């Protein structure tokens, strides 16, 4: 068990975005999180990366504990990579330097070592010929692949994907999902918030349905899509399938 979430709650004023959620994820597991807009999917992922402070409960990630004290956030962020819907590439840095920077300043790798890792990862996501381009010169699909390479460069044990294809033109979704499938095949532990039902069916080990900050249902993709037990899950699936 690499992630162990116990009864976490995350509030924004009067809104309870994540409501007493418990969840454990095994090493190498791919968990897809589905749910309507505003159901707390992003907030849950952000809690796992300590980008959001939890109000109660605790999160154990590979032996490091996040609680209200926020003591281990630095180690946890090294263990957990995150890819965002809006890419969030650093626009003032070239593709190579986007991937290099945190390796240099956080992992303290030498310039040569960082560049070697970056080039290897950029080749893996099919962007070996874009090293000197700036984010502004890339397509959405290319940007998102750089963002994945940038997160992987820190050697995370867990990768979080928050609707990473939602801002893409349809013809670019495939190239990003392909990279994610490859990662899953290599045994990366992944939590993926997505609307791509095909991806969930094909890649997920488990599907979680979140509504109003609570886990309503979780099952293998086979069971989840063919025999949902809860009415809210059925209603949701009826809309997206």
Partner 1 sequence: MTMTWFFEQIEILSRVFYYLIQVVHWTILISISAYVLAMVLGLVFGVARISRNRIIRVFAGAYINTLRGVPLLVLIFFFYFGLGKVINLDRFVAGVLAVGVCYGAYMAEIFRSGIEAIDYGQHEAAMSLGMTRWQTLRHIILPQSVRIVVPPGANEFIACLKDSSLVSIIGLRELTRAGREYANQYFLDFHTWLVVGVIYLIMTLSLTRLVKYLEKRVAVHGYGASRDDH
Ligand X SMILES: Nc1ncnc2c1ncn2[C@@H]1O[C@H](COP(=O)(O)OP(=O)(O)O)[C@@H](O)[C@H]1O
Query: Footprint of partner 1 on this chain (CB under 8 A)?
Result: 49, 51, 74, 77-78, 80-82, 84, 86, 88-92, 101-102, 105-106, 133-137, 139, 147, 150-151, 154
- Binding status of residue 194 toward Mg ion by CB under 5 A: no
Q: Does 92 bind ligand X (CB under 6 A)?
A: no
Query: How far apart are the C-alpha atoms of 209 and 29, rounded to whole Å?
Result: 16
Shortest separation between residue 135's beta carbon and partner 1, angstroms? 8
The option from Mg ion, ligand X, partner 1, none interacting with 219 (CB < 5 to 8 A, set by class) reads: none
Give residues 28-57 in contact with ligand X (rule: CB under 6 A). 35, 37-43
| Run of H or E residues at 23 | strand 15-25
Q: Which residue is nearest to Mg ion (CB)?
A: 42
The 189-193 sheet, strands edge to edge: 80-83, 158-162, 189-193, 30-34, 206-211, 214-219
Element (H, E) at 89: none
DSSP 3-state percent helix, strand, coil across the chain (nearest 5): 40, 25, 35
Q: How far is the CB of 116 from ligand X (least distance, A)?
A: 36
Compute and round to an integer the Cα radius of gyration of the chain. 18
In the complex, which residues of this chain contact ligand X (CB under 6 A)? 12, 15, 17, 35, 37-43
């Amino acid at each position: 068990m690499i992630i162990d979430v116990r009864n976490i709650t995350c509030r924004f004023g009067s809104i309870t975005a994540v409501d007493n959620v418990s969840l454990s994820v095994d090493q190498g597991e791919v968990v897809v999180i589905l749910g309507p807009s505003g159901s707390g999917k992003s907030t849950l992922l952000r809690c796992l990366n300590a980008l959001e402070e939890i109000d109660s409960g605790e999160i154990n990630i590979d032996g490091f504990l996040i609680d209200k004290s926020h003591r281990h956030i630095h180690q946890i962020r090294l263990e957990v990579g995150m890819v965002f819907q809006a890419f969030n590439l650093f626009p003032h840095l070239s593709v190579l330097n986007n991937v290099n920077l945190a390796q240099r300043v956080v992992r303290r790798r030498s310039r040569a070592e960082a560049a070697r890792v970056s080039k290897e990862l950029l080749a893996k996501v099919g962007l070996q010929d874009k090293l000197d381009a700036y984010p502004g010169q890339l397509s959405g699909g290319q940007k998102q692949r750089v963002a994945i390479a940038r997160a992987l460069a820190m050697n995370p044990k867990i990768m979080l994907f928050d609707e990473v294809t939602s801002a893409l033109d349809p013809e670019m979704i495939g190239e990003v999902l392909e990279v994610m499938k490859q990662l899953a095949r290599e045994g990366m532990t992944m939590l993926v918030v997505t609307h791509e039902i095909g991806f969930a069916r094909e890649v997920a080990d488990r599907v979680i349905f979140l509504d109003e900050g609570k886990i309503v249902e979780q099952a293998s993709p086979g069971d989840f899509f063919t025999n949902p037990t809860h009415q809210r899950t059925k209603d949701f699936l009826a809309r997206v399938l």
